[in-house]
Structure 1
Amino acid sequence: MKTYIALFRGLNVGGQNMLPMQALVAILESLGLGQVKTYIQSGNAVFRSDKANVAPLSEQIGAAIKQHQGFEPQLVLLELAELEQAMRVNPFPEAETQPNTLHLNFLLSAPTNPDLNALAAIKKDNERYSLINQVFYLHAPEGIGRSKLAAQAEKRLGVAMTGRNWRTVCKLVELAKA
């Protein structure tokens, strides 16, 4: 059995794509996934499965949510080892002490032509970013709400993504290991 972390994009945000976490747990369990746990209402789930291929499992989860809820959310499905690797290669370890300022944005696919120069042109002096594999790391000491870099990252990378702050990523790993 493998441990997976599902990061849903745009669930329960602004009254759109509403999916109570109890309903998400029931949907995931109906697919035969075990030890399902959720964390906060924005769409984070941890579960165990004997399925080894992530792509069909991700599609199956999306289709089941569409069947039950009427919409199909985008999601990034990671094995526990992948999330731990993303944490290990964090290029801004000193920012871990301020977990709400460090964000890991998980890309739904690999960018083919990211415009990193455009990102460099709009970042504030105290902001830092790095694209490593399919994770866009962003340290925004003033928060992402006022950050042009955070607002433009997805467009400039050319790939949809879903972000989690360091605190959430740590909590998901903790849940996955429990």
Structure 2
Amino acid sequence: MTTTYAALLRGINVGGARKVSMADLRALIEGLGHDGVRTYLQSGQAVFTSDRGDDDSLAEELARAVEERFGFAVDVIVRDHAYLRAVAENCPFPAAELEAKQLHATYLSAPVAPERFAEIDREAFLPEEFRLGDRVLYLYAPEGLGRSKLAEQLSRPRLTKGLTATTRNWNTVVKLVEMTRS
């Protein structure tokens, strides 16, 4: 059965480092035997269809191919349309009422127990808030991610140890749902 996926590449084309053109990324994914390859923005989102593998094996395959082709390691998370749709539908914040810069989803490579974040004094960061979902962390940052003190805390190595984590703003979350719809 053919499934439509989104690949989220962490940290490419940020600050002039680890450059990958989207045309080269599309060609790379097509070269791996996947179809319907499209990219979104320059920050590492690609959509493709495949009739083999699963989220984890496809992510590993793409990460290996990027390193071989471009000469640097990149973390990759691959998720199918059903998962991406569930992330959008299960958002605990009023997404329709917020600006896209205020709401973010950090996709995680594995489930995370709430205890991992127990040390964070949530009250100290209000009005910023976060909530955990299924392999996703939702972040409400009224002043945007760049000014978020809570985002800074959430990205500390002790909290993300053993995980691949990559964050997207709400516009990108919604666009990926649309792009992966069959």
TM-score, scaled relative to structure 2: 0.89
Residues 6-40 of structure 1 show CA distances to partners (whole Å, capped at 9, x for unaligned) of 11110111122111101000000000110000000
Q: CA deviation at 1:151?
A: 1.2
Q: Give matches, 1:1-178, under 5 Å.
A: 1-94=2-95, 96-111=97-112, 113-120=115-122, 122-123=124-125, 125-155=126-156, 157-158=159-160, 159-177=163-181
Q: CA deviation at 1:146?
A: 1.2
Q: CA deviation at 1:167?
A: 0.7
Structure 2: 5+ residue stretches without partners: none
Q: 1:56 to 1:94 in 2, by over 3 A?
A: closer
Q: 1:96 to 1:66 in 2, by over 3 A?
A: farther
- Counterpart-to-counterpart distance in 2, 1:137 and 1:96: 15
User: 8 Å contact 2:76–2:164 — kept in the other structure?
Assistant: no
Look up the SS of the partner of 2:122 in the other structure.
helix
- Counterpart-to-counterpart distance in 2, 1:24 and 1:161: 20
Q: CA deviation at 1:122?
A: 4.3
Residues 145-178 of structure 1 show CA distances to partners (whole Å, capped at 9, x for unaligned) of 1111011212263344111111111111222226
- Counterpart-to-counterpart distance in 2, 1:57 and 1:161: 16
User: 8 Å contact 2:95–2:103 — kept in the other structure?
Assistant: no
Aligned length: 177
Q: 1:133 to 1:116 in 2, by over 3 A?
A: farther
TM-score, scaled relative to structure 1: 0.91
| Mean Cα deviation higher: 36-45 or 64-73 | 64-73
Look up the SS of the partner of 2:107 in the other structure.
strand
- Counterpart-to-counterpart distance in 2, 1:2 and 1:162: 22
- Counterpart-to-counterpart distance in 1, 2:68 and 2:95: 44
Look up the SS of the partner of 1:136 in the other structure.
strand
Give the fraction of aligned pairs with identical amino acids, expressed as a percent.
40
Q: 1:110 to 1:175 in 2, by over 3 A?
A: same
